Amino acid sequence: MTSVEKLGDYPPDSGRGLYLLECEAFTEIVPQLRDLPGKHFVTFLVADFTTTTLDDLTALSHEMIRAGSGYFCAAGNDCETAHLAFDLACCEFDPDCTHTILTTDHSCESFSDAIWFVLNCAYPVDPYDQDWQATIAICVNDKIAAHAIRQAFEAPQEFSDNNGPDVD
């Protein structure tokens, strides 16, 4: 059974949990988001996005926004499509642009740099920073990515100190 695992907190003593969801299909994601603490969360979605359509990713993005995703990062094959889908869903969710959900894709950097970004730079803006208590990495059918995220999320300070843009 697919379930969300809490792996740590970061920054320490912040009350912001680091979570990992490993699943086999995009359809398994949304039901698991209901168990996250707080009203809003950061999402790091890792997958081979060539296995789905822009329309399906946009529909998924709508559901993730309704569940509380207040910042969205994507990595993996064709992650630019997931980024676009989430942006489209944001525009439809808030057509008057009264609130901003930040989105990024990490197609032009290493996977460790993408993880570092999620840990150290992915912070929602008002009102999505209110009651933000979770960062969730979701790996769809990617055990290698899940393993790398697990290691980083279990020791986030050590990972951050040894990775990122300033580390040679």
Query: How many domains is the chain built from?
Result: 1
Structure-model confidence comparison of residues 45 and 95, the more confident one: 45
- Report the distance separating Cα 147 and Cα 153, nearest Å: 10
Task: Please give the Cα distance from 38 to 130 (Å, whole number).
Answer: 9
Residue 59 within any structural domain of the chain:
yes
- For residues 83 and 105, what is the distance between their CA atoms, to the nearest angstrom? 6
Rounded to an integer, the average pLDDT of 66-72 is 95
Label residue 53 by pLDDT band (50, 70, 90): very high
Q: Per DSSP, what are the bridge partners of residue 44?
A: 73, 137
Helix (H, G, I), strand (E, B) or coil at 6: strand
- 99-123 pLDDT, tens digit each: 789 999 999 999 999 999 999 999 9
Checking if the pLDDT of 2 tops 70, the result is yes
The mean pLDDT value of the chain amounts to: 93
* Model pLDDT, residue 92: 83
CATH of the domain at 81: 3.90.190
Domain membership flag for residue 28: no
The predicted-structure confidence for 54-67, as pLDDT tens digits, reads as follows 999 999 999 999 99
Domain membership of residue 24 (yes or no) is no
Report the pLDDT value the prediction gives residue 168, as an integer from 0 to 100.
Answer: 55
Give the pLDDT band of residue 165 (cuts 50, 70, 90): confident
Q: Which domain holds residue 70?
A: 40-162
Residue 108 falls inside a structural domain:
yes
CB 143 within 8 Å of CB 54: no
Asked if residue 99 belongs to a domain, the reply is: yes
